[in-house]
Structure 1
Amino acid sequence: MNNPFLPSADPSTWLGVMGGGQLGRMFTHAAQAMGYKVAVLEPSADCPAGQVADRTVEGGYTNGVALSELAALCSAVTTEFENVPADSLALLAADCFVAPSSLCVQIAQDRILEKKFFVDCAPASNVMPAPHKVIASHADIDAIADDLLPGILKTVRMGYDGKGQVRVRSREDVRVAFDAMGGVACLLEKMLPLAYEVSVLTARGHDGASVVYPIAENVHRDGILFTTTVPGPNVSAACAKQAQDAARAIVAQLGYVGVLCIEFFVLDDGSLVVNEMAPRPHNSGHYTMD
């Protein structure tokens, strides 16, 4: 297979995108400016990325026929949203280069796997996630340590833009929230004295070379990103360096290829806590296009 990541693009080289949203549209414009052709796989042909792509493969993200068509056409495929089925990426990888890998996406999609990865990576990254506990049953709720409350109960999967999250102050609150979420697996995270949130956007190539962008300070409203300021007005030079060094360690440990956003909490005492990662371009990184 030809390596698609070359200084200049062969006009016959196609890149594929799983997902047809605004980030896919931005990716498509950037790839076309470099000489690539872009195919988008999306259930609806009339999607933002599909409107500008060279071809739209209309089909669901688990549709075998659509996946085969995309793999046959493209030299490499990427994602534009974090909930692309990891199994579909694994299928595509049998026939073309896929970045990020199905394993990286699988870790980012599952809060349990993600937290375990952050803990395992801590010796290299020098940052830890918030104290947490898996909640999969009422017995798990009964066993919650007192010092984990108050906290935030989050669904293990499909949580984004503040969805699938409930603040809880007692075991009874956890029980009510857990039942209201349908008893799906959740993660209870201890509420920490948060000063502000920051994110680091990084891009890493298949050769291991990486770029880390300046740290961004983010403000959310109702769980949705409202403003991003770069450089962050409250971010010290030491905090920025720690976050960027942590991002380098995380992408290296993952063996990640592509664009990754890593979100951190900065606590009142200035310490850094890693929160989550998004295996795709991120709204807090739009400034890098200017």
Structure 2
Amino acid sequence: MTALPAALAPGSTIGILGGGQLGRMLAEAASTLGFDVAILEPQADCPASRVAAHHIQAAYDDIEGLKRLAALSDVVTTEFENVPASVVAVLEAEGVRVAPNGRALATAQDRVDEKTFLNSVGATTVDFAKVDDLNDLTAAIEKLGLPALLKTRREGYDGKGQVWIKDAADAESALDAIGHKPAILEARAAFTQELSVIAARGVDGTVAVYPLGQNTHENGILRTTIAPAQVDPATQSRAIEIATAILNGLDYVGVIGVELFDLGGSLLVNEIAPRVHNTGHWTQDGCGCDQFEQQIRAIAGWPLGSTKAHARIEMTNLLGDEIDGWHAMASDPDTHLHFYGKREARAGRKMAHINKVLERL
């Protein structure tokens, strides 16, 4: 049996690939627990750079930059899933542990591989088909029916890289819309609501799962999460089973976000995110141990924190110039502001989020 890594003591350094808002909030959580943070991020003056001890400005696949990160860090994690999975092997060759592992990153980076894995561990998804060309798409439409959602297999987020097909005659134009990239066609899910579950797994295999969140999207971008969601105990229990199966199946260490479709009695997995997740921001003001502290605890080999909710929270993303209303929001004692430190407010850009306390539990 492989020995478990020793828990990192305060004063150790956490490495983070990525310097956006998630990296910033991870760095803040790490600082609270007494850790230093080193980030690798190609963008100068990124949000995380202003709260981290070290900023290595380099591309994610820059070998020298990765070696510098490995030399500084006692463990390395990622703030987003599109860091090349090959980077993990480079870091591990330098003798630093990476969590979550390369398999988790690679699985989440390809939507066909992701759904294939999910089904293999008993986490049901919509029916799907691999699409490489127009012939594949025509056959997939015949198999799955319409409407159906065409997505690029890799990358794409917040509604990007996807298009609904409602008529078979639109197949070729749909491929044009996604740049004829390798794709997946997904059958439509007749869901009653969109849910998500945030869960964590420690180095010893311990699993901790937060209450479900209920999500609302606008134009492909998450708008609000209300959590704990008002669902029956069976739905919460099924979500715990799904999250645990995914975490154990990937031998995962860290926090994961699992997006779910509620079909009114059963759950389908939409996708997984091998990182802290936008739908878990509510935990910052709704739980004693939020998802960011939980991530640091997990990868550092500490005991996982409590996932019990002490308040029901409505999290709202603030996009673009919506942050200009900060003064009025700050005047509400039940509203907690979390700003990302981005210099430029652009339309549709996530600039901050607020957590409004709806109820004390």
1:280 matched to 2:280? The reply is no
1:176-230 deviation line (CA, Å, top 9, x unaligned): 1113322111110011212111111011111111111101111111111111111
CA positional deviation for 1:147: 3.8
Map of 1:121 onto structure 2: 121
Distance 1:52 1:197 in 2: 33
Pick from 187, 202, 215: which aligns with 1:205?
Answer: 202
Whether the aligned pair in 2 keeps the contact of 1:153 and 1:174 (CA below 8 Å) is no
Mean CA deviation greater in 167-176 or 239-248: 167-176
Distance 1:88 1:109 in 2: 13
State the SS of the aligned residue for 1:157. coil
State the SS of the aligned residue for 1:153. strand
Mean CA deviation greater in 141-150 or 58-67: 141-150
Map of 2:129 onto structure 1: 133
Map of 1:255 onto structure 2: 251
Paired residues, number: 281
* Runs (5+) with no aligned partner, structure 2: 286-361
CA positional deviation for 1:245: 1.3
State the SS of the aligned residue for 1:273. strand
Distance 1:50 1:168 in 2: 42
- Tell me which amino acid in the other structure corresponds to 2:68: E
Map of 1:75 onto structure 2: 74
CA positional deviation for 1:91: 1.0
CA positional deviation for 1:4: 6.0
Map of 1:93 onto structure 2: 92
CA positional deviation for 1:55: 0.7
Map of 1:169 onto structure 2: 166
State the SS of the aligned residue for 1:198. strand
State the SS of the aligned residue for 2:90. helix
State the SS of the aligned residue for 1:49. helix
The equivalences for 1:123-272 within 5 A come to 127-144=123-140, 145-233=142-230, 235-267=231-263, 269-272=264-267
1:16-63 deviation line (CA, Å, top 9, x unaligned): 000001111111111111111100100123011111100101101011
- Tell me which amino acid in the other structure corresponds to 1:239: T
CA positional deviation for 1:142: 2.8
1:40 matched to 2:9? The reply is no
Distance 1:253 1:22 in 2: 28
Whether the aligned pair in 2 keeps the contact of 1:131 and 1:148 (CA below 8 Å) is no
Map of 1:60 onto structure 2: 59
The equivalences for 1:6-25 within 5 A come to 6=8, 9-11=9-11, 13-25=12-24
- Tell me which amino acid in the other structure corresponds to 2:150: L
Whether the aligned pair in 2 keeps the contact of 1:148 and 1:189 (CA below 8 Å) is no
The equivalences for 1:99-114 within 5 A come to 99-114=99-114
- Tell me which amino acid in the other structure corresponds to 1:240: Q
Distance 2:161 2:43 in 1: 25
1:118-152 deviation line (CA, Å, top 9, x unaligned): 11111xxxx31101111101221232225432100
- Tell me which amino acid in the other structure corresponds to 2:46: C
RMSD (CA atoms) = 1.6
- Tell me which amino acid in the other structure corresponds to 2:106: Q
Whether the aligned pair in 2 keeps the contact of 1:111 and 1:156 (CA below 8 Å) is yes
* Runs (5+) with no aligned partner, structure 1: none
Whether the aligned pair in 2 keeps the contact of 1:217 and 1:232 (CA below 8 Å) is yes
Q: 1:147 to 1:158 in 2, by over 3 A?
A: closer
Whether the aligned pair in 2 keeps the contact of 1:155 and 1:185 (CA below 8 Å) is yes
Q: 1:16 to 1:62 in 2, by over 3 A?
A: same
CA positional deviation for 1:289: 2.2
Q: 1:155 to 1:3 in 2, by over 3 A?
A: same
Distance 2:155 2:110 in 1: 8
- Tell me which amino acid in the other structure corresponds to 2:85: A
Map of 2:291 onto structure 1: none
Distance 2:68 2:191 in 1: 47
Q: 1:287 to 1:4 in 2, by over 3 A?
A: farther
Distance 2:55 2:232 in 1: 45
State the SS of the aligned residue for 2:31. helix
Distance 2:119 2:53 in 1: 42
